[in-house]
Structure formats: C-alpha cells, structure tokens
Amino acid sequence: MVIPQAVAPNFATLLVSRAIAGAIGGILQNTMEQLSGDMWRTDKERSLPVTFYTYVYVAGVTLGPVLGAVVGDLYWRWVFYIQLILYCALLPVVIIIMRETRGPIIFRRLTKTSTNLISPGEQTTQRPLTTLLHEALTRPAHLLITEPVVFSFTLWAAFCFGLVFLMTQSIPLVYAATYNFSAPSSGLIQLSLFIGETLGALACLPQNTYHTRSAARNNGVPIPEARLALSIPASAIGLAGGLFWYGWASTPQVHWMLPTAGLALVGFAIMVIITAVDLYITDAYVRFAGSAIAAVATGENLCAAWLPLASARMYEVLGFAWASSLLGFVGLGLTMAPVVLVWKGERVRGKSRFIREADGV
C-alpha cells in the first residue's frame, strides 16, 4: 500500500490507503510474534530473538520522526518513495532467507515424501478453513475478555506503545512553544526516546539471564514472573517518573536537555515493558501465544492510532506539566499489573483455563 500513498491524487485516497496499510501492518506484527514461538521452543531460546525483534519494531517506529526531520525539505511524496526503495531492496533478502516455520505445515510436506516419519496414530485431521478463520478471529477477543493477564498486560503494553506515537505530537508542540524549536529540530528530539530504547534493550539482556537462572529455585523450570523483575521499577520510575520529569522540566527557565533526558527515561521504560509483556505472554500461553499476542497487538495498534489524536488538545487544555503528569499517573496505575502477578502469579496462572491447557494440565 506504499505505492497508492505515494501517488495519491487527493487526501481521500491517501486516507484510505493509510487505513489499509495500518491493517496490514497489524497482521505483520502478529505474524512475527508467532514466528518466534515456532522457531524457538524453549524460554531461554526465545529470549534474545524476541528482545531483538521488539527493539527493532519499537525503535523503528520511534525513528520515523527523526528520518522525517532529515528529509523534511523534500517533497512530501518522497517520504513514501524512500519507504518503497527500502522495501524493494529488502524483498529479495526476505524471499531468499524466509522459510516455513509452522510445525504442522512442515510435517504435512514431509509426510508427502515419507510415510515412515511418524506412526499413523499421531497424524491429525485437517480442520476446515472456516473453523480456522473463526478461531483466528474470535480467540484473541475471548482471551482479552476472559483472561485477566491478557487484559491487564494489553492495557499496559498498549499505553506504552501509544506513547511512542503520542510523543510525535507532544514533542513538536512542547519544544516549539517552550524553546522555539523548528519542526525538523523537534523531530530530532525524538532521538532521545531511541537512545532510551537502546539502553532498555541492553538492560533486557541481564533480565533474560535472571529469568533463566530462576529455574534453579523452581525445580528446573524458569519462573514466568521472573520476566517482570526489571519491568516493575522501569514502569514506576522510568515510565511514570520520566513523564513527570518531562512535563515539569518543560519550561523556558530550564535548559532543553533536561526534559529531553526525561524522554530518554520514558524510552527506556517503554522498551523494557513491551519486551517483558511479549516474553511473559509467549511463555505463559505457549500454544495459545499467537492469539494472546494478537490481543495485545490489537490494543497497541488502537492506542497508537487514537492517543496522538488527543495529545494536542490535552496539552493545550491541561498545560504541558499537567498533561504529562496525567500520563504519568496512568503509567503508575498500570504498574500494578506486574506487581500483582509477581505477588500472586502462580495462583493467577492456576485459575487460567488457557494456561492450564497449554501446560497440559
């Protein structure tokens, strides 16, 4: 859908093309999450790939305004032309490298050439396409409504992901009014979020090691809640604290570097939280992880679409300090989700029908 956006003759065509592109992007996001579950079966194996994918995904979105600032003097259609050039350059790499990863599909292909790979009793019947589509469309919604873990973590991750997009509206508004920054200069401020996310990705590496080592005190099985150890202080101090910092430091009497440092703290927290949510959901729901992640991804995309629409009005009505403080209070409240799980995680997981079924209980 990049080509229709690049050559759109009017605003209506651009709007429709963007809407379709957003829907397709959401599908790709969910597909990549499921690929990690297919390719890496154990918690330890999944940790690094999921962390890396989350970093590339979140940081890539964050860098959009930065790249926009760099090409700001070009004709607006060049924003899409550059994307198209990148996609065309990467397409051969995807075609050459990507292989089928879904177990049942690989099994079906192998059994066409060899009937001795498994016993006949192990073969499963192929379900109708309508049944598969029904499950794909309804199970994420079912998980979101009935599973407290999925619901609370969707709110938590969606708020963080929405903040990345909200900041594309907040930063130009705050820095133009407070420090007289131009639009390209304000776009470059977004680099502070990227730096924070990079540091957050690095911080996730020892967090992953901590999770793996938790198996020593749980009969050789890593404790799922060990995934959340770093995310709790990151949410309370980094996310909420960074938003308070950014809001109250945004005054002409304070150098612009100070609120920018607060943004870096927010970026650090966003990366740690979204990674923790992805890994925890994948570990806990195992065979239902694709549907659970689809629920989370839906929440993230909805917040990414709607939060920026409210940002300008919110900052104008409440003022820079209190608008960011409101966001900080929301982030502080959402920190209760991982706190409750660390406190009562085993009990919560024990009451989940999907988690019990995934564990074979």
Sequential pLDDT tens for the chain (361 residues): 788 888 888 888 888 888 888 777 766 766 766 677 677 777 788 888 888 988 998 998 888 877 776 776 677 788 888 888 988 998 888 888 877 776 667 777 777 654 444 434 444 456 677 777 777 778 888 899 989 999 999 999 999 999 999 998 899 899 999 999 887 888 888 899 999 999 999 999 999 999 989 888 888 888 889 999 999 999 999 999 999 999 999 999 999 999 999 999 999 999 999 999 989 988 888 778 788 888 898 898 889 888 888 888 899 899 999 999 999 999 999 999 999 998 988 888 888 888 777 665 5
- Per the structure block, which two tokens stand in for 134? 């029904």
Q: What is the DSSP string of 92-145?
A: HHHHHH-----HHHHHHHHHTT-S-SS-GGG--PPPPHHHHHHHHHHHHHHHHH
SS3 181: coil
Helix 148-179 × helix 129-146 angle, to 10° = 70
Cα 303 to Cα 186: distance, rounded to the nearest angstrom: 22
- Per the structure block, which two tokens stand in for 211? 């999770």
- CA separation, residue 237 to residues 162, 195, 262 (Å): 18, 17, 11
Q: Are 56 and 184 in contact (CB under 8 A)?
A: no
Read off the pTM.
0.87
- The residue written with tokens 């198996």 in the block is 215
